[in-house]
Amino acid sequence: MTVISLDKPQNLESVMNDITIRYSGPPTVRRSYMYEFLVHCPKCGHCATVTTEQSCDTSSDKLICQHCNHIEKKENLVRYNATVKRNCDNCGKLIDVTIPNNKKKIEELTLACSYCGQVRTYTPKHDIYGLIYKGTGACDPIFHLPLWFQTEIKGETFWAYNRLHLTEIRSYVSAKLRERQTTTHTTMVERLPNFIKAAKNRATIIKAIDKLLKK
């Protein structure tokens, strides 16, 4: 804690300098920033926003592009493989049928045994999976689209999820004094890769961040 003594105004400037070089950001973890991701729109390539409730229920997770008005919902990317695997009750041979890539669960499946022709209606079992994009580089965890804020720095990929995440990294990198904000957990900034935290890279990283912020 720095105490500013008002009866010694000549010290004020040096004290203020000390404050500006001290990192005093919030003791947040990376997940705190994972509610929003700026990505390259899969339709037009401009900046689009992915938002998530960060819960098991992904039905409200979506992508919105302000540039081309493209909207995509995570729930529309859910697919089911429906499988019937059992022995025919007439001839005893194995029936093993999978109908892949269904947008909805199939309640009932009527099949003819390929050995004896016996027709029966079965209740299939379902495997659920999600279709995702095959973005390269650093991607968002919901749609797997390339993050908007990413750049190469000295052969390493520097990235951030969103503007707040990027500015928080910037204030940490620009601070010369980095005190621990909490002892209960390791914060987002403390977990940053070493090339970002290295003092020798400070100027390069800040320059790269400022360029990204103007993007």
Site for Zn ion, rule CB under 5 A: 41, 43-44, 65, 67-68, 70, 88, 90-91, 113, 115-116, 118
Q: Which is nearer to Zn ion, 93 or 125 (CB)?
A: 93
Least separation in angstroms between residue 20's CB and Zn ion is: 39
Going from the C-alpha of 59 to that of each of 42, 49, 55, 76, 115, the distances in angstroms are 20, 16, 9, 9, 42
Least separation in angstroms between residue 72's CB and Zn ion is: 10
144: Cβ contacts below 8 Å, ≥ 6 apart: 132, 133, 134, 135
Cross-strand bridge partners of residue 36: 51
Least separation in angstroms between residue 148's CB and Zn ion is: 12
Q: H or E element: which one contains 83?
A: strand 78-87
Q: Which is nearer to Zn ion, 88 or 166 (CB)?
A: 88
Q: Which is nearer to Zn ion, 80 or 148 (CB)?
A: 148
Q: H or E element: which one contains 10?
A: none
Residue pair 136/39 in contact by the 8 Å Cβ criterion: no
Q: Which is nearer to Zn ion, 117 or 137 (CB)?
A: 117
Question: What number of other Cβ atoms are within 10 A of residue 151's Cβ?
Answer: 17
Least separation in angstroms between residue 195's CB and Zn ion is: 32
Q: Which is nearer to Zn ion, 96 or 127 (CB)?
A: 96
Least separation in angstroms between residue 167's CB and Zn ion is: 24
